[in-house]
Amino acid sequence: MASLGGNMLPPALDTKTMTLGIGATAVVAVVCLAAFSSKSPKKEDESPSLLKSFLVFFWSCFVKPHPGDSKGTQQDALESFYKTQAGVYDATRSALLKGREDMMSLVAAQLRLKSKPKHPNKKRVWVDVGGGTGWNIEAMAEYVDVPNFFSSVYLVDFSPSLCEVSRKRFQRLGWNNVKVICQDARKFRLEDYESGAPSTPIPRSTQSYFSQKPAEYGGADLITMSYSLSMIPDYFSVIDSLTSLLAPHGVMGVIDFYVQSKVDFSLRNYTGGLVNRHVGFLQRVFWRAWFDCDRVSLEPGRRDYLEYRFGTVLNINSRNYALGRIPYYIWLGCHKKPFSEASLPHEIVEKVDAFVTESPYMYPENHTQALSRAVERAAPEIRSKAFDAAVLNLSSNLPLPSFFYQNHHYRIYYDDQLKKHAQFNDEYIYAFTWEDTRVDERILRLTSDDVVLAITSAGDNVLSYTLQSPARIHAVDLNPTQNHLLELKVASFHSLSYEDHWKIFGEGRHPDFRNLLMTNMSPHLSSRAFQYWLSNDHVFTSSRGLYDTGGSKHAIRIFRWISLAFGCRRAVQDLLNAKTLIEQREVWRNRIRPALLSRIVSKFVVSQESFLWTALGVPKNQLSMIEQDHANSELVKGPKPVAQNIRSHAIWHYMVDTLDPVVENTHIAGDNPYYLVTLEGKFSPKCHPDYLSPSAHSKLSRPGALDGLRIHTDEIEEVLARISPGTLTVAVVMDSMDWFDPGSTAASAQVTKLNRALKMGGRVMCRSSALKPWYIETFKDIGFRPKCAGERTGGKCIDRVNMYASCWVMTKVENLRPPTPGAEEVDVMPELEI
The verdict on 128 and 66 lying in the same domain is no
The residue that leads in pLDDT, 207 or 807, is 807
Q: Is residue 824 part of a domain?
A: yes
In a domain, 4, yes or no: no
pLDDT of residue 14: 43
Closest to 435 (Cα-Cα) out of 160, 673, 106, 653: 673
Does residue 51 fall inside a structural domain? Answer: yes
Task: Kindly report the CATH number assigned to the domain that includes residue 230.
Answer: 3.40.50.150
DSSP H or E run through 308:
helix 301-309
Instruction: Determine the pLDDT at residue 508.
Output: 96
Q: What average pLDDT does the structure give for the chain? A: 82
589 half-sphere exposure, CB direction, 13 A CA radius: 8
Would you state the pLDDT for residue 82? 52
β-strand partners of 180: 155
Beta strands in 109-176 (DSSP E): 125-129, 152-157
At 742, which amino acid appears?
A: P
- Residues 363 and 423 both lie in one domain: no
pLDDT band at 118 (very low <50, low <70, confident <90, very high): low
Per-residue model confidence (pLDDT) at position 514: 97
Q: On the CB side of 734, how many CA atoms lie within 13 Å of its CA?
A: 25
18-22, 244-248, 305-309, 553-557: segment of lowest average pLDDT: 18-22
Q: Which residue has the higher pLDDT, 697 or 362?
A: 697
Q: Could you give the residue ranges of the DSSP H alpha helices within 496-608? A: 498-505, 513-516, 527-535, 538-541, 553-565, 569-577, 581-587, 593-596, 599-601
Asked, for residue 739, whether it belongs to a domain, the answer is yes
Top-confidence residue, 268 or 639: 268
In a domain, 834, yes or no: no
Q: Is the pLDDT of residue 615 over 70?
A: no
Could you tell me if 131 and 157 are in contact, meaning their C-beta atoms sit under 8 angstroms apart?
yes
Helix (H) or strand (E) holding 476: strand 472-476
Q: Which residues contact 812 (CB under 8 A, 6 or more apart)?
A: 755, 758, 759, 760, 761, 762, 763, 764, 783, 784
DSSP summary character for residue 591: I
Among 81, 195, 187, 185, CA closest to 131? 185
pLDDT for the residue 64: 55
Confidence of residue 342 (pLDDT cuts 50, 70, 90): very low
- The verdict on 135 and 261 lying in the same domain is yes
Angle (CA) 372-377-379 rounded to 5° is 95
The pTM of the full predicted model, rounded to 2 decimals, is 0.85
From the list 250, 232, 390, the residue with the least C-alpha distance to 310 is 250
Same domain, 674 and 692: no
Residues 559-573, mean pLDDT to the nearest whole number: 83
Q: Say whether both 676 and 580 belong to one domain.
A: yes
Provide the residue range defining the domain that includes 362: 345-405
Based on the fold, state whether residues 640 and 612 are members of the same structural domain: yes
CB 731 within 8 A of CB 763: yes
- State the average pLDDT over residues 42-52: 44
**At residue 728, does pLDDT exceed 90?**
yes
pLDDT exceeds cutoff 90 at 217: no
- For 183-210, give the secondary structure using H, E and C: CCHHHCCHHHCCCCCCCCCCCCCCCCHH
Asked if residue 3 belongs to a domain, the reply is: no
Instruction: Say yes or no: 321 and 175 in one domain.
Output: yes
- State mean pLDDT over 821-833: 45
- 808: β partners: 766, 788
Do 153 and 146 touch, CB atoms closer than 8 A? yes
- Is the pLDDT at 219 greater than 70? The verdict is yes
Quote the pLDDT of residue 556: 78
Lowest mean pLDDT among 110-119, 578-587, 639-648, 658-667: 639-648
Pairing of strands 326-335, 310-320: antiparallel
Q: Please check the confidence at residue 67 and state whether its pLDDT lies above 60.
A: no
Indicate left, alpha or beta for 423 from its phi (over 0: left) and psi (-120 to 50: alpha): alpha
Among 151, 140, 339, 340, residue whose Cα is nearest residue 253: 140
Of the residues 305, 335, 365, which one is the last residue of a structural domain? 335
Neighbours of 280 (CB within 10 A): 12
Same domain? 112 vs 258: yes
Strand, coil or helix: what is 44? coil
Tell me the C-alpha distance between 667 and 675, whole Å: 10
- Among residues 274, 695, 290, 286, which one has the least CA distance to residue 463? 695
608 with 746, same domain?
Answer: no
Count structural domains, the chain. Answer: 6
* Strands, sheet with 152-157, edge to edge from the N-terminal-most edge strand: 178-182, 152-157, 125-129, 220-226, 246-257, 326-335, 310-320
Report the pLDDT value the prediction gives residue 77, as an integer from 0 to 100.
54
Residue 747 placed within a domain:
yes
Percent of the chain whose predicted confidence (pLDDT) is above 90 = 56
Are the beta carbons of 162 and 82 closer than 8 angstroms?
A: yes
Residue 826 pLDDT: 44
Residues 606 and 727 in one domain: no
Confidence of residue 557 (pLDDT cuts 50, 70, 90): confident
- Label residue 748 by pLDDT band (50, 70, 90): very high
- Torsion angle, CA of 721/724/728/733, rounded to 10 degrees? -10
706 and 658, same structural domain?
Answer: no
Please give the Cα distance from 240 to 243 (Å, whole number): 6
Nearest to 126 by CA among 106, 107, 103: 107
Residue 299 lies in a domain: yes
Within 13 A of 698's CA, how many CA atoms are on the CB side?
3
State the DSSP code for 158. Answer: S
Answer with the residue of higher pLDDT: 270 or 618: 270
Residue 655 pLDDT grade (very low, low, confident, very high; cuts 50, 70, 90): confident
Identify whether residues 155 and 264 lie together within a single domain: yes
